[in-house]
Amino acid sequence: MTEKLEYLKLIEAGVSLIDCVHKTPSEAFDDYRYIAIPQMKNGRVNDREARRISYNDYLEWTKKAKPQINDVILSRRCNPGETAFVPDGVKWALGQNLVLLRADGAKVYPPYLRWLLRSTQWWEQVNKYINVGAIFDSLKCADVPNFILPIPDINYQKKAAHVLNLFDDKIELNKKMNETLTDLAVNIFKDLFIDFSTVKSKAESEQPFGLNDEIISLLPDSFEESSIGMVPSGWRVKDLDEIANFLNGLALQKYPPTGEGDLPVIKIAQLRINSTKGSDLAASDLPAEYIVNDGDILFSWSGTLEVRIWSGGQGALNQHLFKVTSDSYPKWFYYLWCNYHLKFFRGIAESKATTMGHIQRKHLSDAKVVVPPDEVMDKLNKIFAPMISKIIENELEARILERIRNIFLPKIVLGELNLN
């Protein structure tokens, strides 16, 4: 049975628009976040990357628009129509070209608003009212309250919000778990291979912290000279491109789609979002090594330099991306070394006078790594490999959940799904 729907303007449904302050505060070190358009992704805000502002600026910027739980942040410019909901307990101020949408609860259940504003019907209204500009497309504040959207019974909305939030909460839990696993892996790696803290503790007859006795017994208790300074005795210094192969992608316009079995093209844009959404297509008869699968390590060496464990599905490797592999070393080892040297590579790219900074293969040789003996590597593999496997597993599970949620969403918004 299909739910009865009312098609109402947002303003008729009790959804109000609150504009922001159109200027940017100075950066500070207080625990207040200034949310800008780049922090909005997949319906959420990543405030870890947001600018910190002072308490006084927070007060000033929230006089007009103070985000509260279940508000929806709307981007009016750059990516007009993109939305992200406001969770409980945040101290956010809104950046320029962002506005708040707030339901009064009479006709729209506030936790349901975030899902209504991600529906197909929402995007139809965005495309109807969008103003095409020479540089950026945009939405006018005066137009948004006039968007007409389907509004089901509020009890149905409550059930819908509960179901959709279950999916979203699990997706977010996987994301948070992966952030924790990544931070843990990076910190252990830094301790062992960059700071040599564990070896230093052993050399100073102190009890190393965080590793089991079996691994500690295999670590040296002294250092020796090397081309990069003092390193643990018996450990070798190598170039980054000695421990891994860096396969550059193809100019995939040479492999036009055939309409059968075509592969999505993975470019820098797809790497950044870990998804092939909106990608071009290429024929699948390209050499096998240029096919990317979940769990592969990808590294963009031009433009926006990123290193990622790919989990966006099978695709074709485009130029300006490396697929990083190794026949001799485990995935975690070359991934974490690439990740460590990313700051060095970005510095090189930013120093280029061209519009698109990049690195060259010689810079891979300039980046040095420290390699422990095989018996140490084997023991460390038992620590790091499960972390990387779990990260990939969590990403793939989240992708499946997102697909199921996205199948349900249009049916729910039109009241076509029985939620009893």
Show the beta-strand stretches assigned E in 205-261: 223-226, 229-232, 236-239, 245-248
Mean pLDDT of 66-92: 95
Residues 219 and 87 in one domain: no
CATH number at 188 reads 1.10.287.1120
197 within some domain: yes
Residues 58 and 115 in one domain: yes
104 within some domain: yes
Higher pLDDT, 352 or 313: 313
Residues 139 and 167 in one domain: no
49 within some domain: yes
Please calculate the CA angle 245-248-251 and round it to the nearest 5 degrees: 160
Look over the chain and give the mean of its residue pLDDT values, rounded to a whole number: 94
- What are the residues whose beta carbons fall under 8 Å from the beta carbon of 216, sequence distance 6 or more? 198, 202, 208
Residues 271 and 299 in one domain: yes
pLDDT single digits (tens) 97-116? 999 999 999 999 999 999 99
1 within some domain: no
Least confident of 130-134, 179-183, 191-195: 130-134
CATH number at 350 reads 3.90.220.20
Residues 68 and 176 in one domain: no
Copy the structure tokens of residue 144.
């948004």
Mean pLDDT of 383-401: 97
Instruction: Using the predicted structure, report yes or no on whether residue 159 has a pLDDT greater than 90.
Output: yes
Residues 15 and 101 in one domain: yes
- What are the residues whose beta carbons fall under 8 Å from the beta carbon of 155, sequence distance 6 or more? none
Percent of the chain residues topping a pLDDT of 90: 84
- Tell me the helix, strand and coil percentages in the chain, rounded to 5: 40, 20, 40
Q: At 134, is the pLDDT very low, low, confident or very high (cuts 50, 70, 90)? A: low
Mean pLDDT of 204-220: 83
Give the integer Cα–Cα distance in Å for 164 and 189: 38
Q: To which residue do tokens 């061209």 refer?
A: 354
Mean pLDDT of 80-85: 96
Give the integer Cα–Cα distance in Å for 337 and 364: 11
39 within some domain: yes
Least confident of 116-120, 204-208, 247-251, 391-395: 204-208
Instruction: Single out the residue in 131, 151, 171 at which a domain terminates.
Output: 151
Q: What is the pTM of this model?
A: 0.88
Instruction: Using the predicted structure, report yes or no on whether residue 401 has a pLDDT greater than 60.
Output: yes
Residue 353 has a pLDDT of 56
Q: To which residue do tokens 């950066």 refer?
A: 27
2 within some domain: no
Residues 288 and 212 in one domain: no
Residues 110 and 43 in one domain: yes
Residues 414 and 341 in one domain: no
Instruction: Using the predicted structure, report yes or no on whether residue 356 has a pLDDT greater than 80.
Output: no
Question: What is the number of domains present in the chain?
Answer: 3
Instruction: Using the predicted structure, report yes or no on whether residue 337 has a pLDDT greater than 80.
Output: yes
The whole domain housing 145 covers 7-151
pLDDT single digits (tens) 263-305? 999 999 999 999 998 899 999 999 999 999 999 999 999 988 9
Mean pLDDT of 124-144: 91
Instruction: Single out the residue in 151, 181, 200 at which a domain terminates.
Output: 151
Residue 209 has a pLDDT of 66
Residues 251 and 301 in one domain: yes
Residues 166 and 285 in one domain: no
pLDDT single digits (tens) 317-331? 999 999 999 999 999
Residues 68 and 168 in one domain: no
